[in-house]
Chain A
Amino acid sequence: MANGKDQALLTEFAPQIERTSLIQFIWIFFLVGVIAAGFYALYVQISEGHIVTGMRDNVVWGIYIVNFIFFMGVSYAGALISGTLHLFRAEWRKPIIRMAEFITIIALLIGPCYILLCIGRLDRLPYLVLFGRIQSPITWDVIAISTDIFGCLIFLYLAILRDIAAIRDFQGIRLPNWKRKLYRILALGYVGTPEQQKRLHRATDVMAAMVIAIAVIVYSVLAWIFSVTLQPGWHSTIFGPYFVIAAVFSGCGVMIVVMWLFRKIYRLEQFITRKHFVNVGILMLILAALFGYFTFSDYLTKWYGSERNDELLINLLFDEYYWLFILSNYVGVLMPMIVVGFPKLRTINNITISAIVVILALWVNRYLIVVPTLESPYLPIQDSRPAWLFYNSTWVEWVLTAAGVAFFALAMTVGSKFIPIINVSEMQDAPPPEDEEILV
Chain B
Amino acid sequence: MLWSVILLVFFSPILSAQEEASPEEAEPVDTYLSLLATYTSNDTVVLLASLYIRHGRERIDLQNAQIIFTASGEKDQVEVGRAFTDSTGSAHIKVPLLNPALPADAEGMITYTADFEGTDNYLSASEQFISKPARLEVSFYEEDSVRYIRVNAQQHAGDAMEPITGETVFLFVPTLFRPLPIGEVSLDEEGTGSIEFPMSLIGDSLGNITIVARIDENDRFGYVRGENTCSWAIPKHLFSQDKPTRELWTPVAPIWMIITLLTLLAGVWGHYIYAVTELIKIKKSASKEKSEEKDWSNYS
Contacts and interface: CB of A to CB of B under 8 A. Distances in A.
A134 B268 CA distance: 18
B271 A190 contact: no
A133 B258 CA distance: 11
**Residue among B257, B286, B289, B290 with max Cβ neighbours from chain A (10 Å):** B286
B285 interface: yes
A6 B148 CA distance: 104
Nearest to A217: B264
A147 B290 contact: no
B272 A143 contact: no
Interface in A115-153: 133-135, 140, 143, 147, 150-151
Given A158-B275, A206-B274, A195 B268 contact: no
Contacts of A214: 268
Interface stretch (B63-71, B152-160, B176-184, B276-284): B276-284
Contact of B283 (A189, A193, A195): A189
Given A147-B265, A147-B268, A217-B264, A195 B285 contact: yes
Interface in B232-283: 248-249, 251, 253-254, 257-258, 261, 264-265, 268-269, 271-272, 274-276, 278-279, 281-283
Interface string A179-197: 0000000001111010110
A369 interface: no
Nearest to B286: A189
Interface residues of B, number: 27
A207 B286 CA distance: 22
A133 B264 contact: no
A127 to B, nearest CB: 14
B287 interface: yes
Contact of B265 (A133, A143, A154, A193): A143
Contacts of A158: 275, 279
Contacts of B249: 135
A199 interface: yes
Contacts of A196: 282, 285-286
Contacts of A193: 285, 289
A338 interface: no
B253 A134 contact: yes
Interface string A145-169: 0010011001001100100000000
A190 B278 contact: no
A209 B275 CA distance: 12
A195 B286 CA distance: 10
A405 interface: no
Interface string A192-230: 010110011011001101100110010000000000000
Nearest to A214: B268
Nearest to A200: B282
A135 B257 contact: yes
Contacts of B248: 135
Nearest to A150: B272
B276 A154 contact: yes
Given A135-B248, A147-B269, A196-B285, A189 B290 contact: yes
A158 B271 CA distance: 14
A189 B282 CA distance: 7
B17 to A, nearest CB: 29
Contact of A199 (B251, B264, B265, B278): B278
A157 B282 CA distance: 13
Contact of B287 (A189, A199, A202): A189
A151 B273 CA distance: 10
A154 B287 CA distance: 22
Contacts of B285: 193, 195-196, 199
A199 B268 contact: no
B271 A135 contact: no
Contact of B258 (A134, A147, A151): A134
Interface in B181-203: none
A134 B261 contact: yes
A61 to B, nearest CB: 21
A207 B251 CA distance: 35
Nearest to B284: A189
A207 B273 CA distance: 10
Nearest to A131: B251
B297 to A, nearest CB: 16
B38 to A, nearest CB: 47
Contacts of A140: 261
Nearest to A143: B265
Contact of A188 (B258, B269, B282): B282
A219 to B, nearest CB: 15
Interface in B79-100: none
A143 B262 CA distance: 11
A190 B272 contact: no
A151 B279 contact: no
Given A134-B253, A189-B282, A203-B279, A210 B290 contact: no
B259 to A, nearest CB: 11
B163 to A, nearest CB: 59
A210 B279 contact: no
A283 B289 CA distance: 44
A206 B285 CA distance: 20
B282 A210 contact: no
Contacts of B269: 147
Contact of B279 (A135, A143, A188): A188
Contacts of A151: 268, 272
A43 B223 CA distance: 67
A133 B286 contact: no
Contacts of A200: 278, 282
A147 B264 CA distance: 11
Contacts of B283: 188-189
A188 B268 contact: no
A210 B270 CA distance: 10
Contacts of A135: 248-249, 253-254, 257
A214 B269 CA distance: 11
Interface in A49-105: none
Contact of B286 (A191, A203, A209): A191
A214 B275 CA distance: 15
Interface of A: 133-135, 140, 143, 147, 150-151, 154, 157-158, 161, 188-191, 193, 195-196, 199-200, 202-203, 206-207, 209-210, 213-214, 217
9 contacts: A134-B258, A135-B257, A143-B261, A190-B286, A191-B289, A195-B285, A199-B279, A206-B274, A207-B275
Given A161-B279, A188-B286, A189-B287, 5 more contacts: A143-B261, A143-B265, A151-B268, A154-B276, A213-B268
A-B pairs, 6 with minimum CB distance: A189-B286, A203-B278, A134-B253, A203-B275, A188-B283, A199-B278
